[in-house]
A and B are shown apart, each in its own frame.
Chain A
Amino acid sequence: MSEFIKPTPMPRKYFTPTVIFLSVIALVGIIFVFARLIFGIGTVTNLSNQYPWGIWIGIDVAAGVALAAGGFTTAALGHIMHKEEYHLITRPALLTAMLGYTFVAMSVAIDLGRYYYIWHPLIMWNGTSVLFEVGICVMIYLTVLYIEFLPIVTERFIGRVNLPGLLKKYNNSVDKFLRALDRGLDKTMFIFIIAGVVLSCLHQSSLGTLMVIAGPKMHPLWQTPILPLLFLLSAISVGLPMVIFESVLTSRSFDLKPETPILAGLGRMIAPILFIYLSFKIGDMVIRQTFVYLTEFNTASVMFVIELVLGIIVPLRLFMSPQIQRSPLGLSIASFLVIFGVFLNRLNNFIVAYTPPYQFTPYFPSVGEIFVTAGFIAIEVLLFRAFVMIFPIVSVPQIPAVHKTKFSIRGAK
């Protein structure tokens, strides 16, 4: 069988004006991280005893985990539902998830007052703690993601091992090792793929349970016992839009033709998921009668309406339109709105909704906090670009394709 579309490294010039701009942001972010490590959290952030958690948790961690949901949704779609036509989007999604979770872990680390004790939860357990469950799940899932990525590394280097200098004599044995690893992974990968999806379902929902304990400190528009369900549903609904948005961006960045038929297929699946999420969100609001808070005009009600209308209802309508499904631009706008909606939802849940009983100064992130968050996102994008250039991630036509129905990817036979 000849291969028409195959993941391939993208040899391009790394530095473009955008890349240089992102590098500067990344550098400033790193400087602030060092400032935090040397002078303490209080120096760099606006956190206080009233607001113990800021955007490093609300955006970097909560939104970061949600926006990395493309990894488990495509794994479920491509491998568990076994829709082979979607195999070619699993790799970029996997890379996003891997980088995303790595930076989630790093954000947690710098937000911890005692970052050097980050391993404590591994041996000091507290089963009643939601945070403990989230922490353990994220740690295991991150490991699973690295394992899931290994076949891409072996594929890149098998037969191409070329160690520099004195290490040259080990070329053969390294190659052998990679082949053995590849064979082993090929046979056992299904275990990790299922584990990854289960772990994701668990911690995506538990991330919602996290704020339940804040009780009356959280605005009633968001505080609900079904927060874990809402978090899981929103994570599932943002997974595919994230993949679409990234795919369109990558195609633009590397001058490739967007995979419109596949993206359209993905787009068709989003509307029903969004609809379920919307029904639960509205249903919850009706049952708990929290809509009364929408008659007030304040930050909370405005943010809630933006999240609901711009983040769920508008993209739901867009994804239902056949014209939008056929156009890469339409798809990416609709996807962006879903991403924006879920991002805002996490920000709302963790920061906007949080109203401490004794408030002296309202919280607004400091310059340092914003630069660290922006810096981490910049580094993620830069690493994504580097990985896509080094490893076979993005699928491109190998020879002028005649019929685009068959795809072949290693390990997916």
Chain B
Amino acid sequence: MANQSRRNFLKTSALIGAGLTGVSSKPAKAAPNNILDENRMGVLVDTTVCIGCRKCEWACKTAHNLSAQSIESYNDRSVFKNMRRPDDKTLTVVNEYAAKGDDQFPVDVKVQCMHCDKPACVSACIVGAFSKEKNGSVIWNGDRCIGCRYCMVACPFQVPAFEYGKAIQPEVRKCDFCFDRTKDGKLPACVEICPMEVLTYGRREELIDLAHQKISLYPDRYVNNVYGEHEVGGTSWLYLAGRDFHELQFPKLGTNPAPGVSEAIQHGIFAYFVPPIALYALFGGVMWLNKNRKQDEHKEANHE
């Protein structure tokens, strides 16, 4: 931890130095450790196994000190009547989609932050309060956040939630991949509690292999698609399903990283600060020329 803060300190001071000398071309690099580690972890969610017991919801609340009701109350299946979304008090929810035919089962889908490999929230955050950590988690740093909610505008999965009810220190809340637990070698709370082994925690690369193995072993059980493998440049959480993902209300997204175009534009406009400085020089030149021209005209007018 001490090492970590020292590195941050060095980065910050390097950045300030660069900023002062005016050569800082990409302060972007100073944003928190947004490294894509090849050993980053992920979770494979097999929605064909989930029974909708909602134990993961209970475990998540308990692990994050959010007021959870008794574990028995989570057996109540009436909540499935309406589609629910994660919010500031519930970081993960399970939704149920009715069975299609008589011979099929309803499908239960756990929803939480996807922990993108190239997260839009990390790119968008005005103060760099989000970071993609080495182990794959995308986490939020409450000390920096100013509550602008641009992360919520940016997120393609509509995940970050804001504490609208609080006037002081409202937080942006979302699944943090149990960063504090995994740090100590523990499993994420939802993975640990799941009685049906719906959730497999492991290296993302291996999970992708596993997912494709499952698909090729049981081609009748799964659609031939791992949601999250390529969506918005890849996500740490991956899904298998027996139905088209869009029927299960997964957003239809391309394979380009979510922040892609906006970062390209941004870096185009500010490429090494050349365009702004060139613009300044251009305006200065035009101003000087016009001023001289006017003065010459005045002189000529006076001569006449």
Residues of chain A whose beta carbon lies under 8 Å from any beta carbon of chain B = 36-43, 45, 47-50, 52-53, 76, 79-82, 84, 108, 111-115, 117-118, 120-121, 124-133, 135, 190, 193-195, 197-198, 201-202, 205-206, 209-217, 225, 228, 354, 356-358, 360
Contact = CB atoms under 8 A, between A and B. Distances in A.
B116 interface: no
Given A121-B127, A126-B28, A127-B31, A212 B146 contact: no
A212 B258 CA distance: 10
Contacts of B26: 127
B107 interface: no
Given A213-B120, A217-B156, A358-B249, A49 B87 contact: yes
19 contacts: A80-B287, A81-B290, A82-B287, A112-B148, A121-B127, A125-B30, A126-B28, A127-B29, A129-B124, A129-B128, A131-B126, A133-B270, A194-B287, A198-B283, A205-B269, A210-B150, A212-B261, A228-B265, A357-B251
Interface centre among B15, B147, B262, B290, by most chain A C-beta atoms within 10 angstroms, is B262
A126 B161 CA distance: 21
Contacts of B167: 36-40
Contacts of A190: 284, 287
Contacts, number: 202
B85 interface: yes
B64 to A, nearest CB: 17
Q: Is the interface of A mostly helix, strand, loop or mixed?
A: helix
Nearest to A125: B27
B67 interface: no
Contacts of A39: 167
A84 B294 CA distance: 9
B265 A212 contact: yes
A211 B269 CA distance: 16
Interface of B: 15, 19, 26-31, 83, 85, 87-88, 120, 122-129, 144-150, 152-154, 156-158, 160-170, 172, 249, 251-254, 258-259, 261-263, 265-266, 269-270, 276, 279-280, 283-284, 286-287, 290-291, 293-294
B294 A82 contact: yes
Interface centre among B126, B163, B166, B291, by most chain A C-beta atoms within 10 angstroms, is B126
B294 A213 contact: no
Contact of B147 (A112, A356, A357): A112
Given A113-B147, A131-B124, A194-B283, 7 more contacts: A41-B170, A79-B287, A125-B15, A125-B19, A125-B27, A125-B31, A128-B266
A216 B279 contact: no
B268 to A, nearest CB: 9
A8 B96 CA distance: 71
Nearest to B264: A225
B66 to A, nearest CB: 16
A175 to B, nearest CB: 30
A216 B266 CA distance: 19
Interface centre among A47, A225, A358, by most chain B C-beta atoms within 10 angstroms, is A358
Nearest to A49: B161
A52 B149 contact: yes
A356 B153 CA distance: 9
Contacts of A111: 148
B164 A213 contact: no
Given A132-B127, A133-B266, A213-B262, A81 B146 contact: no
Given A84-B294, A125-B15, A127-B27, A209 B266 contact: yes
Nearest to A356: B158
Contact of A215 (B156, B170, B266): B156
Given A49-B158, A112-B148, A198-B276, A126 B165 contact: no
Interface centre among A50, A111, A118, A217, by most chain B C-beta atoms within 10 angstroms, is A217
Contact of B286 (A41, A50, A81): A81
A113 B258 CA distance: 24
A165 B196 CA distance: 82
B261 A225 contact: yes
Counting from the closest, the 8 A-B pairs by CB-CB distance are A113-B147, A42-B164, A127-B28, A82-B290, A127-B27, A52-B152, A126-B128, A52-B149
